[in-house]
Amino acid sequence: MVLFAFFFARLIRPANPYPAKSINYECAEETIGTSWIRFNNRFYIFALIFVIFDVEVVFLFPWAVAFNKLGLYALVEMVIFIMILFYGLYYAWKKGVLKWV
């Protein structure tokens, strides 16, 4: 099925190769210098931590909306969940990941 899909797509797609299609660009801007540069891993880790905590807020929202109906058990679970999040933040802070250089 996959090979058939690839073959069929190759048959029906338009083939119009020209040199401008193979030019590297970043946000429609011409590149200056080489595009193979080394980035600091700290930026990547900082972004991942932001995404993780941002997604965790999505988990907190439905809990906050239905807080009255859930009871004490859900409160204890959420406190444990938040403690795990704060431990992760503390660990990242102690490792020096959150220092912006």
Find out whether 95 and 46 touch, Cβ atoms under 8 Å.
no
In whole angstroms, how large is the CA radius of gyration of the chain?
24
The pLDDT score that the predictor gives to residue 101 is: 66
The tens digit of pLDDT for each residue in 44-84 reads 888 888 888 888 888 888 888 888 888 888 889 889 988 99
The pLDDT score that the predictor gives to residue 12 is: 93
Q: Which fold has domain 2-95?
A: Methane Monooxygenase Hydroxylase; Chain G, domain 1 (1.20.58)
The pLDDT score that the predictor gives to residue 35 is: 67
64 vs 2: which has the higher pLDDT: 2
Mean per-residue pLDDT of the chain:
83
Model-wide pTM > 0.85: no
Tokens (6 digits) for 28: 């429609």
Strand 25-26 and strand 29-30: the pairing is antiparallel
Find out whether 63 and 78 touch, Cβ atoms under 8 Å.
yes
